[in-house]
Amino acid sequence: MSLLEREAAGVAMTPDNIRTKQLPLVVNLGVALAAIVLSAVIVLGTGVGNWVLVAVVAVVFYLVGLYFAASRVEGRRAAKNRTMQSLIYTACILAILPLASVVWTLVSKGVERLDGTFFGSSMNNISARDPGGGAYHAIVGTLEQVGIAALIAVPLGVLGAIYLVEYGRGRFAGTVRFFVDVMTGIPSIVAGLFILSFWVLIVSPWFNDGNPRFSGFAASLALTVLMLPTIVRSTEEMLRLVPGPLREGSYALGVPQWKTILKVVLPTALPGIVTGVMLAIARAAGETAPVLLVAGGAAAINFDPFAGNQQSLALFVYQQAGDASRYAPARAWTAALTLVALVLVLTIAAKLLARRNKLSR
């Protein structure tokens, strides 16, 4: 008798029959049906809830029923496997549900104002009684603010991560890494207040005859503060995943370190870095508070990010959602839909671009 057979219950090292019984699909479906009926009878019969509670209770009944049915036919190990598998599927569905719900709500409510006027006009001279108006100024604002923020944050963040991974040794690198971690937790309103007190109140008067001034650029700076730590940390993780032997292989060819980083390390880590950058951009595009604080919001189109108030999509949603006009909520929904679509398109475009460089597999 082997050690395993002696110590582990139910293990046969040389079983007479290596086949096992399978739970028939009919039984599985029967358990599911019984769970639904039983749950409906209990929940609706006692009147404690509606169909949502029926579904939740049915899932619980199904899992329990499946475990007992399977342990009868297939044995405990297989029953556990089945139950866990179903549990994982349930968790997966639960995780997808809110997302699907958000998308559905956005599309169904946003489609009302999904028209040419919305994308072609601003809120200039639109009063509470006017049905028209649009988010053109907000789209322009979001694109400019996030674009400028990305132009500043991506090079700084990637270079910072390269420093931390490839060059950083000792106390200074440790300090930088610590403060990047701290920055990750900065609330966006704090970033907005920082830029308000520093850029808008102290620096911007120099460029505007001594008067402080809101601008889209100030919003970009606040968004940069929010994007930097995300980009640095995600890029750092991706660079660390590049195997050391690749770097050594390049050094052994007499390639200098900077060129090794540029031509071997960065291309290898590129898809991951792009994902991190897109996460940061998506977060920045959805920020409301800093834009409200330092760009102020506007009803008219302002193409110049360096002078005067500017709107952004997130801020537009916030303002329209709280507006007293009966046409405002529809605008808010469509703007929210536009924002999500914008981020989605940008993400897909970035992924395609990152893959184009890679060799076809």
Partner 1 sequence: MAKRIEASNVSSYYGSFKAIDSVSMAVEPKTITALIGPSGCGKSTFLRSINRMHEVLPNARIEGRLTIDDQNIYDPDVDVTAVRRMIGMVFQRPNPFPTMSIYENAVAGLKLNGVKKKAVLDEAAEKSLRSANLWDEVKDRLDRPGAGLSGGQQQRLCIARTIAVEPQVVLMDEPCSALDPISTLAIEDLMFKLKDRFTIIIVTHNMQQAARVSDKTGFFSIDKTGDPGRLIEYDDTQKIFSNPTQKKTEDYITGRFG
Residues forming the site for partner 1 (CB under 8 A): 169, 243, 245-256, 259-260, 263-264, 267-268, 270, 357-359, 361
Based on CB atoms, which residue is closest to partner 1, 230 or 250? 250
Nearest approach, Cβ of 227 to partner 1 (angstroms)?
Answer: 26
Can you state the angle between helices 328-357 and 136-162, rounded to 10 degrees?
A: 40
Based on CB atoms, which residue is closest to partner 1, 237 or 323? 237
DSSP for 73-129, please give it: HT-HHHHHHHHHHHHHHHHHHHHHHHHHHHHHHHHHHHGGG-SHHHHH--STT--TT
Contact call for residues 232 and 164 (beta carbons, < 8 A) = yes
Nearest approach, Cβ of 351 to partner 1 (angstroms)?
Answer: 16
Nearest approach, Cβ of 153 to partner 1 (angstroms)?
Answer: 25
Query: What is the rounded CA–CA span in Å between residue 152 and residue 224?
Result: 7
Based on CB atoms, which residue is closest to partner 1, 36 or 255? 255
Nearest approach, Cβ of 352 to partner 1 (angstroms)?
Answer: 16
Based on CB atoms, which residue is closest to partner 1, 183 or 255? 255
Q: Which two tokens stand for residue 103?
A: 């998308």
Task: List beta partners, residue 310.
Answer: 296
Nearest approach, Cβ of 168 to partner 1 (angstroms)?
Answer: 11
Based on CB atoms, which residue is closest to partner 1, 40 or 270? 270
Based on CB atoms, which residue is closest to partner 1, 78 or 173? 173
Geometric angle at alpha carbon 153, from 155 and 214, rounded to 5°: 140
Nearest approach, Cβ of 248 to partner 1 (angstroms)?
Answer: 6
Hunting for tokens 């009684």 — which residue is that?
129
DSSP for 285-353, please give it: HT--HHHHHHTB--SS----TTSS-B--HHHHHHHHHT-SSTTHHHHHHHHHHHHHHHHHHHHHHHHHH
